[in-house]
Chains A and B, each alone.
Chain A
Amino acid sequence: MTGTDALEPARPKNAARAGRRVRGTATLVVGCVLAGAIALLALVSLFWLPFPADDTSGGRLTGPGEGHLLGTDKLGRDLFTQVMTGSRIAVEAGLGSVLIAAVIGVTLGVLAAFAQGWLDDTLSAFLDILIAFPTLLLAMLIVAARSATLGSAVLAIGLAQSAVVARLARILVKRVLAQDYITAARTSGTSWPRTVLGHVLPNIWPTLVVNLALQFGLAVLAEAGLSYLGLGAPPPNASWGRMLQEAQATFTTAPAGALAPGILLVLLVIGVNLIADGLRDTLDPATRRRRT
């Protein structure tokens, strides 16, 4: 790569890269603002809520107005309080799932990359099957085995996503292992664990991080979907998915109950997707090398 770069006229390529980086930074900033606002909401909900979570003293489905910023739900609970709690659950679900996906996925991916022959085939086949397995079905199995809690939902989403991460990690690691500097490191006597930590992971993490950011958005959506179906956090936890489900019947008369969690869900997912896009542009290994 670097060799061809040197032969070509440097200017336009550099300009294009710089442009991509500037655009990348812009997307990154917008993404951070959107996702950050919701993360802030989640953080605040840990210390302060407008109303106690189980306060049913508001009227039935009062519209947005004095006292209740977004109005109340059927039981008279404050919607803004619920939306705040929901943002915490969404962020928890996203982080939890991505953490599980990252730990299991990267470990499996690295192992699969080192595996040879039938073991390699078996592992990749296993990952392909896991990817083909619907997240929903997996979630239902886990919920049946444990019970419907946020933990079960996160575990199911995390496991399903770990297959995607593992497959990506396997390909990335395989590609890095074929590089000359790995051979050089090995011949100079570096042990395999040190090679992986010192050379392989640093070279694959930019691509992985971008993918994990995308998985975060997907995990938030998946948790909302599971909660909508009653397989996520049990009531009275105000997960956005559950709020949507509860507000469905009253959408024509009290739209705030569905609009508020719906819009926040969209903003959070767009936010993290923009962050992923921005990261991809700014973390591009080629760009990074040029910069340093």
Chain B
Amino acid sequence: MNIKKTSLYATASAAALALTLTACSGSGSGGSASGGSWDKNATVNIGSLYEPQNLDNTAGGGQGVTEALNGNVYEGLFKLTDDGKVDKLLATDHKVSADGLTYTFTLRDGVKFHSGKQLTSDDVKYSLEKVIADDSQSARKSNLEVIKDIATPDAHTVKVTLSQRSISFVYNLSYVWIINSQAQNLKTTEDGTGPYRLDKWTRGSALSLNRFAGYWGDAARNQKAVFHYYKDATALNNALLTNAVDVVTSEQSPDSLDQFKNNQNYKVNDGNSTTKLLLAFNDKAKPFTDVRVRQAVSAAIDDKKLLESVWGGYGKLIGSMVPPTDPWYEDLTEVNAHDPARAKKLLAEAGYAKGFDFTLDTPNYDPHPTAATFIKSELAKVGITVTINTITPDEWYTKVYKNHDFTATLQEHVNDRDLVWYGNPDFYWGYDNKQVTQWVRQAEEAGSAAEQTELLKKVNRKTAEDAASDWLYLYPQIVVADSKLSGYPLNGLNSQFYAYDIKKKG
């Protein structure tokens, strides 16, 4: 996986270098030429199912806004690369005080917003405050509430004081867009520092981005990136087949892939996602208060067969909440692996030799109903009767997530590094283990990344052994692209899709 990716990047940068050289020698002859060269002024058409609700990621813009704008239009002090590393972006340097509570960031010189204004420390302060404001709907709000004070000693320096140590602080900053403090109407317009500026957003159909001439770094490798939005996967695939789009950000079913796999005009890429399908027990509701019952249910379900059913040959099995791209990943698929005989034994030990009944709250969209049907059939084999209750996403949010009024549910969890939620006893699944809570807290306050990783590995193993939830499988991230395209991101980390490195052959 990694080998493939690195080699792709290597060829991409070699090609970029080649072009810079030719561009220098042949003065102003304009991009396109023979064989392997690419068109500097190309328009890249990107097909997606996730249209933003609005353009503000602190006002419930949804995953579509991250996909289209993160890294393309807006930039953070740091960025999360496609292989999960945190790199400097608008910050050129950062220093942490000995007690780990004060972070001093030096801002990059010569960064301009799309409106023309220079980036200053005031904009950074404004942007951070926007994420932790009372009305912010940012998913990262709670992670950044450790911020106690933001000071701006000069235009190029930002000093952030935390109320407690937070090893993930720099990583969390990769989600914070730096926005012009004077910008207005951020739900429909933008003012960021990224390689593209927003050209036009036609609701219900497309959002187009134009290369920003005043960008501080390397210019985008294409003139225009247009996100086209589709309501269903079939329409999206047809758009790719008819060249209406050049690349599909993530395929949602394996069965439409054959038409691209056997066609040399397309390339099917199998990357890593961070999306996990969970059978989440309410660990505070009977009978799932008993760890043996949770282990039994986990052992009774053949995850491999379910993954094969839903995703054909794609996707991966996971034995815990941690996907391979998180630093504290360990292969725990052998913990509570499929073993119906052991499941029956555990049930008998827990006093449920004759099985029991429970209701499974199932979101009404794919793949949940399919997974629920499969789980019902698997658990019937060990004597457990499942009643499937289909609910809408809204109902899930109020009934399950807010009111904890459920016995078990199915849900996809898309975020990376979200193992730490098992350290919060008030989270919807109600996993309450004092030791785990302490480890998670210590990990966040750790002095080094190594120490953090060590502690979270312990959390990982403990929650897996406790079958805190049943992690059914990890989704594949399948990007299908026209073979004329290169340089597109392969992993769906945090659902971002950097378009600026995409090159299109002329």
Q: Of A185-193, A206-214, A248-256, which stretch is located at the interface?
A: A248-256
Q: Are A75 and B370 in contact (CB under 8 A)?
A: yes
Cross-chain contact of A61 among B255, B369, B391 (Cβ < 8 A): B255
Known contacts A230-B365, A250-B253; A75/B234 CB under 8 A:
no
Which residues of chain B from 339 to 369 have a CB within 8 Å of any chain A CB? 362, 364-366, 369
Q: Does chain B have a CB within 8 A of A147?
A: yes
| 0/1 string, B69-94, CB within 8 A of A gives 1 | 00000000000000000000000000
B residues near A144, Cβ cutoff 8 Å: 395
Which residues of chain B from 353 to 393 have a CB within 8 Å of any chain A CB? 362, 364-366, 369-370, 372-374, 376-378, 380, 388-391
Compute how far the CA of A82 lies from the CA of B256 in the bound complex, rounded to whole angstroms: 23
Which residues of chain A from 58 to 103 have a CB within 8 Å of any chain B CB? 60-61, 74-76
Cross-chain contact of B390 among A54, A60, A230, A250 (Cβ < 8 A): A230
B residues near A75, Cβ cutoff 8 Å: 309, 370, 373-374, 377
Compute how far the CA of A148 lies from the CA of B308 in the bound complex, rounded to whole angstroms: 28
Compute how far the CA of A233 lies from the CA of B120 in the bound complex, rounded to whole angstroms: 58
**Looking across the interface, which residue of chain B has its beta carbon closest to that of A250?**
B255
Cross-chain contact of B234 among A55, A231, A246, A249 (Cβ < 8 A): A249
Compute how far the CA of A56 lies from the CA of B253 in the bound complex, rounded to whole angstroms: 20
Compute how far the CA of A216 lies from the CA of B187 in the bound complex, rounded to whole angstroms: 48
Query: By CB atoms of chain B within 10 A, which of A60, A76, A144, A254 has the most?
Result: A60
Cross-chain contact of A236 among B258, B365, B376, B391 (Cβ < 8 A): B376
Q: Does chain B have a CB within 8 A of A285?
A: no
Q: Does chain B have a CB within 8 A of A19?
A: no
Q: Does chain B have a CB within 8 A of A50?
A: no
| 0/1 string, B240-269, CB within 8 A of A gives 1 | 000000000000110110110000000000
Which residues of chain A from 109 to 158 have a CB within 8 Å of any chain B CB? 144, 147-148
A residues near B258, Cβ cutoff 8 Å: 252-253
Q: Does chain B have a CB within 8 A of A235?
A: yes
Q: Are B364 and A74 in contact (CB under 8 A)?
A: no
A93 to chain B, nearest CB (A): 17
Q: Does chain A have a CB within 8 A of B233?
A: yes
B interface, how many residues as a size bin? 20 to 34
Q: Are A60 and B234 in contact (CB under 8 A)?
A: no
Q: Are A249 and B255 in contact (CB under 8 A)?
A: yes
Cross-chain contact of A235 among B233, B305, B372 (Cβ < 8 A): B372
Known contacts A230-B364, A252-B259; A235/B390 CB under 8 A:
yes
Q: Does chain B have a CB within 8 A of A234?
A: yes
Q: Are B377 and A249 in contact (CB under 8 A)?
A: no
A258 to chain B, nearest CB (A): 11
Compute how far the CA of A253 lies from the CA of B259 in the bound complex, rounded to whole angstroms: 9
B236 to chain A, nearest CB (A): 11
Q: Are A76 and B309 in contact (CB under 8 A)?
A: yes
A residues near B253, Cβ cutoff 8 Å: 249-250
A143 to chain B, nearest CB (A): 9
Q: Does chain A have a CB within 8 A of B310?
A: yes
B residues near A252, Cβ cutoff 8 Å: 255-256, 258-259
Secondary structure call for the A interface? loop
Compute how far the CA of A60 lies from the CA of B308 in the bound complex, rounded to whole angstroms: 8
Compute how far the CA of A232 lies from the CA of B364 in the bound complex, rounded to whole angstroms: 11
| 0/1 string, A216-243, CB within 8 A of B gives 1 | 0000000000000011001110000010
Q: Are B305 and A56 in contact (CB under 8 A)?
A: yes
B residues near A55, Cβ cutoff 8 Å: 377
Q: Are B364 and A60 in contact (CB under 8 A)?
A: no
Which residues of chain A from 244 to 270 have a CB within 8 Å of any chain B CB? 246, 248-254
Q: Are A60 and B312 in contact (CB under 8 A)?
A: yes
Q: Are B380 and A54 in contact (CB under 8 A)?
A: yes
Q: Are B369 and A235 in contact (CB under 8 A)?
A: yes
Compute how far the CA of A235 lies from the CA of B276 in the bound complex, rounded to whole angstroms: 22
Known contacts A74-B310, A230-B365; A254/B373 CB under 8 A:
no
B residues near A74, Cβ cutoff 8 Å: 309-310, 370
A residues near B234, Cβ cutoff 8 Å: 248-249, 251
Q: Are A235 and B255 in contact (CB under 8 A)?
A: no
**Looking across the interface, which residue of chain B has its beta carbon closest to that of A246?**
B370
A123 to chain B, nearest CB (A): 34
Known contacts A54-B377, A56-B305, A148-B364; A234/B388 CB under 8 A:
yes
A residues near B364, Cβ cutoff 8 Å: 148, 230-231
Compute how far the CA of A235 lies from the CA of B366 in the bound complex, rounded to whole angstroms: 12
Compute how far the CA of A235 lies from the CA of B368 in the bound complex, rounded to whole angstroms: 10
Q: Are B369 and A230 in contact (CB under 8 A)?
A: yes
A residues near B362, Cβ cutoff 8 Å: 234-235
A residues near B369, Cβ cutoff 8 Å: 230, 234-235, 242, 246
Q: Are B389 and A147 in contact (CB under 8 A)?
A: yes
| 0/1 string, B181-192, CB within 8 A of A gives 1 | 000000000000
Cross-chain contact of B309 among A60, A231, A242, A253 (Cβ < 8 A): A60
Compute how far the CA of A248 lies from the CA of B237 in the bound complex, rounded to whole angstroms: 13
B473 to chain A, nearest CB (A): 14
Compute how far the CA of A76 lies from the CA of B259 in the bound complex, rounded to whole angstroms: 23
B residues near A234, Cβ cutoff 8 Å: 362, 369, 388-390
Compute how far the CA of A252 lies from the CA of B366 in the bound complex, rounded to whole angstroms: 18
B45 to chain A, nearest CB (A): 22
Compute how far the CA of A235 lies from the CA of B370 in the bound complex, rounded to whole angstroms: 8
| 0/1 string, B279-318, CB within 8 A of A gives 1 | 0000000000000000000000000010011101000000
B398 to chain A, nearest CB (A): 11
B338 to chain A, nearest CB (A): 14
Query: By CB atoms of chain A within 10 A, which of B233, B234, B364 has the most?
Result: B364
A246 to chain B, nearest CB (A): 7
B residues near A235, Cβ cutoff 8 Å: 362, 369-370, 372-373, 376, 388, 390
Query: By CB atoms of chain A within 10 A, which of B305, B369, B372 has the most?
Result: B369
A residues near B252, Cβ cutoff 8 Å: 249
A residues near B377, Cβ cutoff 8 Å: 54-56, 75, 236
Compute how far the CA of A60 lies from the CA of B255 in the bound complex, rounded to whole angstroms: 11
B residues near A61, Cβ cutoff 8 Å: 255
A residues near B391, Cβ cutoff 8 Å: 147-148
12 contacts between A and B (CB under 8 A): A54-B373, A54-B376, A55-B377, A56-B305, A60-B308, A60-B309, A75-B309, A75-B373, A147-B389, A148-B364, A230-B365, A253-B255
Q: Which 5 A-B pairs have the closest CB atoms?
A: A230-B364, A54-B377, A249-B253, A250-B255, A236-B373
Question: Interface residues, chain A, CB within 8 Å of chain B?
Answer: 54-56, 60-61, 74-76, 144, 147-148, 230-231, 234-236, 242, 246, 248-254
- Contacts A54-B373, A147-B391, A234-B389 aside, 9 further interface pairs with beta carbons under 8 A come to A75-B377, A144-B395, A148-B390, A235-B373, A235-B390, A249-B252, A252-B256, A253-B255, A253-B256
